[in-house]
Chains A and B, each alone.
Chain A
Amino acid sequence: MDSFSSPSRSSSGSTPNPEVVMEQIKEQLAQAYAQEFLETVGTKCFDKCVTKPGSSLSGSEGSCISRCVDRYIEATGIVSRALFSAGPQR
């Protein structure tokens, strides 16, 4: 990749370095993705594991939640493979 050829800069503000912009875009997308993922997992696992909210989260609810999160991550992998690789079950 060639760097910026023109060394001149406008006085009103430096031209943003495209590499930096690209990094920022990637970072923000990753962050948005993570946030959405967390939100979804939270909703799904709350549905599954906290069926009758008590005065505190019980131990069994807690372990259900951690299993649920693991399974949800696994499910995401399974779905992704089913979509993007010509799976053996096709």
Chain B
Amino acid sequence: MDNADMQRFLQQEQQKAMMGEMVGKLTSVCWDKCITGTPGSKFTSGESTCLTNCAQRFLDMTMIIAKRFEMQ
């Protein structure tokens, strides 16, 4: 266990934390968009498809925004 190991560990944890944060944020946003009624004992297929689409479209949007700023 040396400094480089610790550095690597911290980087990994930081990345995990970032991913977790992203999932949390997107779940919150997509929940609001997709789950309009009271939650049932199962998601309808429409709801789960909406959640999947919502998360993936958010990624697409992030790319577009990133590109938009690259062009300047």
Contacts and interface: CB of A to CB of B under 8 A. Distances in A.
Interface residues of A, number: 38
Nearest to A32: B17
Given A44-B28, A71-B39, A83 B55 contact: yes
Contacts of B34: 75
A40 to B, nearest CB: 6
A-B pairs, 5 with minimum CB distance: A82-B55, A71-B39, A68-B39, A82-B52, A79-B55
* B interface: dominant SS: helix
B22 interface: yes
Contacts, number: 98
A26 B12 CA distance: 11
Given A33-B20, A36-B24, A76-B24, A87 B52 contact: yes
A87 B15 CA distance: 21
A48 B39 contact: yes
B53 A72 contact: no
B48 interface: yes
B19 A84 contact: yes
Interface of A: 1-4, 18-19, 21-22, 25-26, 29, 33, 36-37, 40, 44-45, 48-49, 64, 67-68, 70-72, 74-76, 78-84, 87, 89-90
A23 to B, nearest CB: 11
A89 B19 contact: no
A75 B30 contact: yes
